[in-house]
Each structure stands twice: as structure tokens, then as C-alpha cells.
Amino acid sequence: MEADYVVIGAGSGGSALAYRLAEAGRKVLIIEHGGSDAGPFIQMPAALSYPMNMGIYDWGFMSEPEPGLGGRRLVTPRGKVIGGSSSINGMVYVRGHACDFDHWAEQGAQGWGYADVLPYFKRMETWHGGHDGGDAAWRGASGPMHITRGPRRNPLFGAFIAAGQQAGYPVTPDYNGGQQEGFGPMEATIWKGRRWSTANAYLRPAMKCGNVSIIRGLARKVQIENGRATGVEIERGGKVEVIRARAEVILAASSINTPKILMLSGIGPAAHLAAQGVEVIADRPGVGANLQDHLEVYMQFAAQEPVTLYKYWNLWGKALIGAQWLFTKQGLGASNQFEACGFIRSDAGIEYPDIQYHFLPIAVRYDGKTAAEGHGFQVHAGPMRSKSRGAVTLRSADPREAPVISFNYMSHPDDWAEFRKVIRLTREIFAQPAMAGHVKHEIQPGVAVQSDDEIDAFIREHAESAYHPCGTARMGRADDPTAVVDPEGRVIGVEGLRVADSSIFPRITNGNLNAPSIMTGEKVADHILGRRLPSENVEPWINPNWRVAQR
């Protein structure tokens, strides 16, 4: 078993990369531990709470007890299925802010500034949002990823956007275009009523052309001979074998599994590897370090009128939605229900948004377990650039064992101040006339929660991960001892080995991470092929009063 390129992980980065390499005539083998993405739980957008809680599709990772969150262990879903996490995520599509990528470049990821990555975002997408306004010049028209917007038929979506405007924030017709800051319609990787994962967009077309094939197995480690990656040791059917790579091995196994596989292969912090009995091939202290995520709280409100999705929150309602979707791919089943959003700045002196809102016309937990108090709605709200950093480390040298995941949430004092602002600014938005008529009362945190201490206690007890882990194989200058890969995605200190997933993000981007992860696969493929799209010098909108005004 051999190919020009062996890719570990059939997820967002790996699928996009394999597609581009295959398009250029290269033979690619993808190693994926998970199985098929067929079935309504994955393909029906409204069923999104199911696959991320199903062991057949999810690796089932948990964080260690988090000291900043009262010792709670948070679930860390990662896709173990064709399409990876793009097959189990919330389907929200956010590129990130232009300044995020310029910051990457400043941190040593040369060639990854916004002007450099914008052409790749455009290449990967076919945008269907033009009827709402927005500037098509910023968007792609012929890429594999179809990007759509929900119909926003529920009056609460419009009310939320209007309330943001009444509170003094801008409205943006396209947060993925020239202006992220403001309130507006949310975009999704949904096409013709189905989840448009990277399996549907990239993998299936690539496999049809014959240059890409998938092997089901557990990647144990990268085989390295004389300082060069030559293949991947996998376990399948109870046997261990090696898949040979004629040119390169590419890791795209997620920001949790990629550092784990690097460490099992002898690439990582030398003392930690030695303690686990792993032979050190390259001492890279940055492997597994720099772990970041977005935390959020669900602010929930009871509704005055029965206009929320709660009326379908019963067996009969769910069956009805499911049947309509099964036969027509239309109706409520064809939306992830995240159809309105906002990006705002928490304070004067902050150059670009650092708070994100996802609005949802039902008050419910992410795992779909409980709907609160009947008719209600909620907004997922959280800071974008926490200064806390965690780590992924080996539990043992056994490849079958899950790594140790410590996010260190809320370990930086600024996190608390930022989160308090999130809650107070959100309450102000929901008190605006457009929304006030819909609000009966605040369910969570509840009006009794007012002081800093009360808000902090609420956060400690109720903050949830937005499931955006990244940063554990940071990209930087080749001479930076804490960097893991250089700006072409090459692992520093080993030949023939690259990383092409969210592990390489120097710092977490604004919003959901699926779009930048796909872009990473697209761009690293071009680095492998020795080509690049020309940079686009465009000026994204920055609030002209950002130095002196919060809005």
C-alpha cells in the first residue's frame, strides 16, 4: 500500500488538501479511523445535536477537570467519520476577521496575512448569499463549498438583528465580506437542504476521479527513517502495517489527534516524550502546547408569544420535521437554526470584534437534552480572544489511548472581565424595543445575577466550549524554537512531513473554525505543489471610531 501522499484524517483540512493534490494528478491515500457519514443524523442540518454525541461519529474526548470552571470536565467532540468535524459540527461558516490573519503573519506565519488567505477562501466557496446584499467581490463563485443562508422566517431572527441596531451597533450584510463587525444573517455549510461537509464537497468528487482512496484504520505513528517521514504505521483488523508515502506524509487529524500522533512519532517536548518511553526524533516543545478554544454561555429568555421552535419539541413535532426533510429536503429540518448573528467589540480601544453571538429561536442545551421552560430563545455569547492557553499531552505511549486535554479555561484574569462584559452587553441588547416585546423574562443567568461575583459564579458553572480547539502545532518562523511548522506547513526538524489542520493556527480566529481549517488544507496543498494564488490587496472595514468608542 503506497501513494505519493499519505494524509492522516479525512476531515476539513485533509479532504480539501487531498482534492487539490488529486486535481494536480497526484495519488493520495487518506487514513481515516471513522466510517461512513451516510444517514439522516449527519445529513439533516436540524439534527446537529445528535452526531456530536454519538460514539460512532465522535472520538468522545473529555477535558481534564478544569480548575477555572470549578473542576468540571468539558466534552471535546471531534469528528471520527468521513468529513471529520465538518460532518458533526453546527455548520456555521465564519472565515475569521482580516486582522486575525494579519496577526498570524506578524507572529511569524509569513504569507498567511489576510491578503494571502483571501484568495483561498474565495477559491473554496460558491456563495449563495448575494440576494441579501454584501459584495460579491469578496466572495467565491465556483468552489466546492456551497455557502448559504437560512430563510430567517422566524420573526425572532429579524428582531435580534434590529435590537443590535437599536443598541447602536452596525448592521452588516455579510460578515464574511468586507465588514465583520455588526449584526446580520448567519451563513452555513448547507446546500439543497443537506449538510455540505467536506466529505460531500471535496472527498466524494476526488474519489470519483480515481486519484484519492481512503483506508480505514487507526494511525499509530508516522514512520521516520534518517530524519524523513516515509509512511504511516496503522492498525486495522487487528494487524499493524505501514502505508508508504513516496513524497510526503500530511497530518490533518485535528488539533487533538495531530499533536498526539506527532508525539507518538517522536516529535515533541523531549522530556515529556522520554517520560512516556517514546524515542525522541525532534525536540519540539511547541507540540501540544498553545491549545486554545472559545468558551460561551447560553443566555436564555422565556418568550412572550409561542413563536419559538418549542412547539416542535416533542416526538410528533420532530417526526413531522424529519419526514418533511426526508421527502423534500425542505422545512425546518433543512436549517441548523443559527440564522442570525452578531460580532461586536467589547470596549473602546479594541480594533476589531472580540465577542460573537449565535442566535437560536429555542432555549435548549447544545446536546439537545433539555428545552428550558417551554417557549424561549437563546443566544450563544462569548469572547473571541481569550489569553488562556492549555495543552494536549500523551497519557501513555499506547496509540489507542486518548491524550490528556487541559484547556486551562479562564486561567487568565482578563477572561473574567471580558466575560462579564459579554453578559452585560447582551442584556442591554435584549432590552431594546425590537426584542423587549418578545422577552417574558430572563431564564439564564436570571435577573438575580448582577454583581461581578454572581456573574463569575454563573460562568464557572455554566460556560460551555464552543468546540473550537486549535493551535497545538503552531506555525511560525523556522528558527522559532516554540513553532512546530514553518509557513509552508512543514514540520520543523523532519523532512517530508506537514500539518494541514487547525493545529497550525498561531492564534484562534474570530468565530467558528471550520472555514479557516478548510482554507488551511487548500493553502498547504498549494505549498506542496509549489504554487500560490496572487495576494489580493483589499481594505476590510474597521470601525473608524474604534479607539474612542465601543460602538
Compute the residue count for the chain: 551
Q: What is the dihedral of CA 479, 483, 487, 489, to 10 degrees?
A: 120
Cell numbers 473550537 label which residue? 468
What's the rounded Cα separation, in Å, for the pair 223 and 151?
49
Burial per residue of 395-410, b for 16 or more beta-carbon CB atoms within 10 angstroms, e otherwise: eeeebeebbebbbbbb
Q: What angle do CA 520, 521, 524 make, to 5 degrees?
A: 80
Alpha carbon of residue 204 to chain centroid = 22
Alpha carbon of residue 41 to chain centroid = 19
Say whether 232 sits in a helix, a strand or coil.
strand
Max alpha carbon distance in the chain (Å)?
A: 69
Q: Which grid coordinates belong to 335?
A: 436549517
Asked whether the beta carbons of 371 and 300 are under 8 A apart, the reply is: no
- Own/partner long-range contacts of 64-69 (Cβ < 8 Å, ≥24 apart): 64/404, 64/405, 64/406, 66/406, 66/407, 66/408, 66/409, 66/410, 67/408, 67/411, 68/388, 68/408, 68/409, 68/410, 68/411, 68/415, 68/460, 69/409, 69/410, 69/460, 69/461, 69/463
Phi-psi region of 437 (alpha: psi -120 to 50; beta: other; left: phi over 0): alpha
Q: How far is CA 452 from CA 304, 416, 418, 431, in A?
A: 29, 9, 11, 20
What's the rounded Cα separation, in Å, for the pair 517 and 502?
5
Amino acid at 363: A
Question: Which residues, listed in sequence order, are joined to residue 244 by a DSSP beta bridge?
Answer: 2, 231
DSSP notation for 118-157: HHHHHHHEEE--GGG---GGGS-BSSSEEEEE----SHHH
Identified catalytic residue from 358, 380, 438, 468: 468
Q: Residue 153 contacts by C-beta under 8 Å, 6 or more apart in sequence?
A: none
Q: How far is CA 531 from CA 20, 53, 123, 334, 492, in A?
A: 12, 40, 14, 38, 20
Q: What angle do CA 491, 492, 494 make, to 5 degrees?
A: 75
Going by C-alpha positions, the residue among 375, 374, 304, 335 that lies closest to residue 45 is 335
DSSP 300: E
User: From the CB of residue 286, how many other CB atoms can be counted at a distance below 10 Å?
Assistant: 23
294 is catalytic: no
Q: Would you name the residues annotated as active-site residues? A: 468
